[in-house]
Amino acid sequence: MGTIFSELRRRNVIRVAIAYVITSWLLLQIADVVLNNIGAPRWVFQTLLLLLAIGFFIAVLFSWVYEVTPEGVKKEQDVARSGSIATGRKLDLVIIGLMAVALVYFAWDKFLAAPPGEDAQVTATPSAAQQPDNSIAVLPFTNMSDDQANEYFSDGLSEELLNALVHIGGLRVTGRTSSFAFKGQNTDLREIGRILNVSHVLEGSVRKDRNRVRITAQLVKTADGFHVWSDTFDRELEDIFAIQQEIANRVTGSLHVALLGQTPT
C-alpha cells in the first residue's frame, strides 16, 4: 500500500485529483447561480455534474500515464525525476491558488451575498410582495396514461388554457416557452414561482381509459405552495378540440373568480 501511495505521489496523481476536485466545485457553484438565473432546466446542471465526474477519472488516468512538461506532454516514464518534482511544485502552487479562490467564494457566499437574519431571506428569494398578485404560469399538464399519443392532448390542453387566460384583462400570463421549460421536471412550485416571478401556477394531469379522459386542474399559490382551487373533469373523447376548448373555458371562468374576484362577463 505504501508503495502504491508513493507512486501516486511521484506521478502527481494525487495533486491532479485535488486540483480537479477544487476546480469542479468552483465550476458547479458558478453554474448553479448562472443556470438558476436564466431558468435553465435542472437536467443541464445534472449533465454538467455527470460530465465532471467522468472527467475526474480521465484526468487521474491521464496523470498516471502522462505528464505535462515545458516541452509538452510526455509519457511519465520518459520524464526525469527532477522534471517530475518541478511539475509537482507547480501543481502545489496551482492547488494553493485554487483553494484561495474557493475560500474567498465560500466566504462571499456565506457572509456577504446573504447576510444572516431577515436580510438573508430577502436576498435569497423574492418576497411575495415582489411578485405581481395577478400573475400566473400554466405548466404542461402531465400525461398519466400509458398511451404516449395522449401527450399531444395534454400539451394541447395546456396551450388552450394559456391562450384563454391571456384574454383575461388584468391578468399577467407567463409565455409558453418559459412555462414549458419545466416540462418533465419535478421542480418545487415555490421555486418555479420565484424563477418565473408569478404568484400562481396552474398545473394538472390527464388520465385516459379507452375512450374516456379525466382531467384534473389545480391552482397553487407559489408563496406557500398551497392550493387555491382545483377541479376534475370527465369527458368522452369524441372531439378533442371541442373538449380542450370547453375545459379551457370552464377553468378560465373559475380562475377569473379565484384570481381577480370577478365573475366573467
- Residue-wise DSSP of 96-157: HHHHHHHHHHHHIIIIISS-SSHHHHHHHS--GGGS-TTEEEEPPPEE-SS-TTHHHHHHHH
What average pLDDT does range 75-98 have in this prediction? 66
DSSP class of 262? -
What average pLDDT does range 121-139 have in this prediction? 63
Per-residue model confidence as pLDDT tens digits over 26-75? 888 888 878 777 767 778 888 988 999 999 888 888 877 776 665 556 66
Computed from CA positions of residues 181, 186, 189, 193, in that sequence, does the dihedral angle turn out positive or negative? negative
* Residue among 8, 47, 1 nearest 28 (CA): 47
Computed from CA positions of residues 88, 91, 93, 96, in that sequence, does the dihedral angle turn out positive or negative? negative
Give the residues across from 200 on adjacent strands. Answer: 136, 221
Predicted pLDDT of residue 17: 86
- Of 22-26, 84-88, 179-183, 223-227, the poorest mean pLDDT is in 84-88
Radius of gyration of the chain from Cα atoms?
27
119 Cα distance to chain centroid:
25
* Residue among 265, 240, 138, 239 nearest 198 (CA): 138
What average pLDDT does range 80-99 have in this prediction? 68
* Cell numbers representing residue 24 in the block: 469542479
3-class DSSP state of 247 = helix
* Residue among 254, 243, 42 nearest 165 (CA): 254
* Residue among 228, 233, 227 nearest 246 (CA): 233
| Local confidence band at 114 (pLDDT 50, 70, 90 cut-offs) | very low
Asked whether 54 and 82 are in contact (CB, 8 A), the reply is no
Provide the 10 A C-beta neighbour count for residue 154: 22
* Cell numbers representing residue 58 in the block: 480521465
Residues whose CB falls within 8 Å of the CB of residue 9, separated by 6 or more in sequence, listed in order: none
What average pLDDT does range 229-256 have in this prediction? 89
| Local confidence band at 233 (pLDDT 50, 70, 90 cut-offs) | very high
| Local confidence band at 100 (pLDDT 50, 70, 90 cut-offs) | confident
- List alpha helices for the chain, DSSP H: 2-10, 13-37, 42-65, 81-107, 118-124, 150-166, 176-180, 189-196, 240-260
177 pLDDT more than 70: yes
Average pLDDT, the chain: 79
